[in-house]
Every structure is written in C-alpha cells, then in structure tokens.
Amino acid sequence: MTSDPAERAILDMLAQRGDKSICPSEAARALAGHPGDDSWRRSLAPIRLAAFRLARAGEIEILRKGKAVSPEDARGVIRLRRKNGE
C-alpha cells in the first residue's frame, strides 16, 4: 500500500471501477474532495506524476488513444487502468 495521497486516489478509484479505465481528472476531483468549483484542477499535476510513478512500478497502465504507452510517451489526453485488467 502506498502512503501517497495522489497514488491512493488513483488506486482507490481503479478498485471501484473494476476493469474500466479512469480519467486522471476523476482522481484529481477525488483527491481535492470533490469541490463544486474548478479548484480540483490544482490536483491534476500531482495525479499525473503519481500515475507515472505507478506505471513505472508496474501497477497501472497509461492509455493514449486506447493503447498502453510508457510514462515518457504520455502526452495530452490519457486514461488510467489497472495493469492487465487486474
């Protein structure tokens, strides 16, 4: 288990979704406490960095246009999913 709040937000959300992917903005909203305004956007950078760490550790995959990409190739719109549908 990780103690990083951003990593935890990603992993918790993926556990809730089962084999479905999530958008990093969903995890950012959860990390920010689901505010009613756009303040959750400040959580996007920590979520993306956490996603890159988790991908490098082999815990999740980063998807770009439906295909798994390395953290180094993750540009623009991405989605996150458990590694191998786990």
SS3 33: coil
Q: Structural domains in the chain?
A: 5-85 (1.10.10.10)
Alpha carbon distance 71, 48 (integer Å): 9
Looking at residue 25, its pLDDT comes to 96
- Specify the pTM: 0.90
* Cβ–Cβ < 8 Å for 76, 9: no
Q: What is the pLDDT along the chain (86 residues), one digit of tens a residue?
A: 679 999 999 999 999 998 899 999 999 999 999 998 999 999 999 999 999 999 999 999 999 999 999 999 999 999 999 987 44
**Percent helix, strand, coil in the chain (nearest 5)?**
55, 15, 30
